[in-house]
Amino acid sequence: MSNVEFDKVKRPETIKLPFMLDFYPLEDAKLTGISQFFTNLKEGHLTTTKCKKCSKLLWPPRIVCSNCLSNEFEWVDLGVEGELYAFTEMRVGAPLGFVEDVPFCIGIVKINDLLISSRIDNAKYDQLKIGDKLKLKIVKLEDGRVFYRFIGINEK
Amino acid sequence: MRRVAIVGGGATRCGKREASWRDLVQEAGKAMFESVANLSPKDADSLIVGAAQPERFVFQAHVAPMVAEYLGISPRKVLARTELMCASGQAAIRYAWACVATGLSDVAVAFGVEKMFMPDMAEAQTNMTCVLDREWDGVNGLSAPPFFAMTAQRHMHEFGTTKEQMAQVSVKNHHYSSMNPFAQFQKEVSVEDVLKSLMISPPLQLLDCSGITDGAAGVIMVPADEARKYTDTPMYVIGSGQASIGNAVNNLASLTDWVPLRLAVEEAFRTANIALKDIDIAELHDCFTISEIIEYEAFGWCEKGKGGEFIEEGQPYIGAKVAVNPRGGLLGCGHPLGATAILQTVDILQQFRGQVPKGRLVEGAEVAVAHNLSGPANVHSIVVYSR
């Protein structure tokens, strides 16, 4: 053993959930050009942008049309009912923040001819089938942000 | 455009390695340079490094100059890192090829590396969830297994593909990886083993999925007319193709018909001036068993929807219609993202040189393709090689 000095350094035992591990989008108008999407969602409406110039319905919502480069949009209500196009269940390998939810169902929902991926809540994998009717559900995060999910139409 | 040759290549053993990211880089670099006579790191004027997520897996950015430093390369023509997730290494190969072909570089190294085992594997899984559109798809827990599980479900639903057929892909690739000392998994598996393995994301079970893997590899490219200075057995890059459609789940061409792969195949064949029947070895991106089945179809070895029957009939084995993944594939060898394409390429080079074990040697092979998909199979990248 040499006679150099040994010392300890401290690091925090816990840190606040860092932005880099936050899956949910930032929704404030100061942070995104599509904050209207979240405002609409808070009122119970799943919406997206439709280009006023070329009429293309875009998902995810945009501020510039990838079809014609226009930036004039209207917000279109997609309704509250969808159809299950494909589904699976997360059983192993969930990311941090979702580990506690395992197992949970994930699906692709056909709504207004869009294919939107979503958590499927209140559902058991074995009881779901392609073509099932689904209903929109909105979840609130502790900090007030919102996101959409779907549930089986026969479930409560 | 100059013709381009690969004159050497080397790789690490893949798997859960007791090695740091930097250890992997050095190990593969040494193997690569030692595979070529009359060429030292100082001769390399360019380096392209395929690395998918070093920022998240090892908290390190600006990795291309770091690899250059560790390998003793001082690039004076082109230096860059390529990120195209699971095809990051294929992007490195395509750029290194373009650099040598255009005359921008005379000796270019295409390198790939990924260290994926982390102290907390939930963190590694988290990294994989920002590959798909994180705010709209990843947010729902859509990492690779659930996405490809739904792809498999749709293929089963639309075409009647079975879990047994999918399992047979895993059986074939583990058969070949059992003869590959560089592979992560060197044990044969049976259809029953696959069907009894842990359910990950139904219908995909553990042995339907490629591994989380540590590994690195590199190849050296020079103009074809200088290749003989370094080796008697160069391998030529004769063509390439790449195509992409959409990114978010809503904007893909189709879950089960990989249109961009068909476009990439067309372009690769056109530039290489070959036809399907010319391919002796196909290193295809079998990140999941269903992927390889859809790839048989998109390349055109069988009709759309008949990929399951194609493997059931034993067509993608050595000696049958085409040797698919005689290296052992991603299922058998593992999938260290940035390194995967380079590992495929090193193995093709060794195939052409007759340096692989007899049981997985494709005798007399003249033409090979290496293919990678990335993301939700919206991007497909292909390179064609000849002896």
Structure tokens, B249:
């789940």
Residue A149, classed as helix, strand or coil, is strand
| CA–CA separation, A34 and A63 (whole Å) | 7
Q: Smallest CA–CA separation between A3 and chain B, in Å?
A: 30
Is the per-residue pLDDT at A155 higher than 60?
A: no
- In a 13 Å sphere around the CA of B271, the CA atoms on its Cβ side amount to 18
Structure tokens, A41:
């969602």
Top pLDDT among B334 and A14 is at B334
Nearest Cβ partner for A119 among B129, B141, B199:
B141
Which residue has 């074995």 as its token pair? A126
Cβ-Cβ contacts under 8 Å between A and B: the total is: 106
Please give the pLDDT value at position A156.
Answer: 42
- The H or E element that residue B369 is part of is strand B367-374
- The H or E element that residue A139 is part of is strand A133-140
| CA–CA separation, B207 and B329 (whole Å) | 13
Task: Catalogue the active-site residues of B.
Answer: 86, 335
Per-residue exposure over B257-271, b if at least 16 CB sit within 10 Å of its own CB, e if not: bbbbbbbbbebbbeb
Tell whether A119 is covered by a domain: yes
Q: What is the extent of the structural domain holding A86?
A: 79-156
- Which chain A residues touch B if contact means CB-CB below 8 Å? 21, 23-25, 59-60, 85-99, 101, 104, 106-108, 114-119, 125, 130, 147
Any idea what the CATH number is for the domain that residue A113 is in? 2.40.50
Contact A90 B126 (CB under 8 A): no
Contact A95 B135 (CB under 8 A): no
Structural domains in chain B?
A: 4-120+213-236 (3.40.47.10), 141-209+238-386 (3.40.47.10)
Is the per-residue pLDDT at A153 higher than 90?
A: no
The answer to whether B217 touches B343, Cβ cutoff 8 Å, is yes
Contact B249 A115 (CB under 8 A): yes
| Residues of chain B with C-beta less than 8 angstroms from the C-beta of A59 | 136, 248, 250-251
Give the type of residue at A80: V
**Same-domain status, A62 and A106:** no
Q: Smallest CA–CA separation between B155 and chain A, in Å?
A: 10
| Residues of chain A with C-beta less than 8 angstroms from the C-beta of B133 | 60
Longest dimension (CA), chain A: 77
Question: Going residue by residue through chain B (387 aa), what tens digit of pLDDT does each one get?
Answer: 999 999 999 999 999 999 999 999 999 999 999 999 999 999 999 999 999 999 999 999 999 999 999 999 999 999 999 999 999 999 999 999 999 999 999 999 999 999 999 998 889 999 999 999 999 999 999 999 999 999 999 999 999 999 999 999 999 999 999 999 999 999 999 999 999 999 999 999 999 999 999 999 999 999 999 999 999 999 999 999 999 999 999 999 999 999 999 999 999 999 999 999 999 999 999 999 999 999 999 999 999 999 999 999 999 999 999 999 999 999 999 999 999 999 999 999 999 999 999 999 999 999 999 999 999 999 999 999 999
Give the type of residue at B112: G
| Residues of chain B with C-beta less than 8 angstroms from the C-beta of A107 | 150
| Residues of chain A with C-beta less than 8 angstroms from the C-beta of B154 | 85-86
Residue B353, classed as helix, strand or coil, is coil
| A15: phi then psi, degrees, rounded to nearest 5 | -130, 150
Structure tokens, B73:
């390369």
Tell whether A15 is covered by a domain: no
**Same-domain status, A53 and A70:** yes
Give the type of residue at A16: K
Nearest Cβ partner for B249 among A87, A104, A108:
A108
| CA–CA separation, B173 and B182 (whole Å) | 14
Residue A154: pLDDT band with limits 50, 70, 90: low
Tell whether A3 is covered by a domain: no
**Same-domain status, A59 and A99:** no
Nearest Cβ partner for A60 among B150, B201, B248:
B248
Q: Nearest Cα to B87, choosing from B383, B340, B261, B289?
A: B340
**Same-domain status, A84 and A150:** yes
Nearest Cβ partner for A25 among B135, B145, B149:
B135
Tell whether A71 is covered by a domain: yes
Contact B122 A115 (CB under 8 A): no
Tell whether A42 is covered by a domain: yes
CA distances from B101 to B3, B93, B104, B266, B342 (A): 6, 12, 8, 21, 18
Longest dimension (CA), chain B: 56
Contact A60 B255 (CB under 8 A): no
Structure tokens, B110:
């295409």
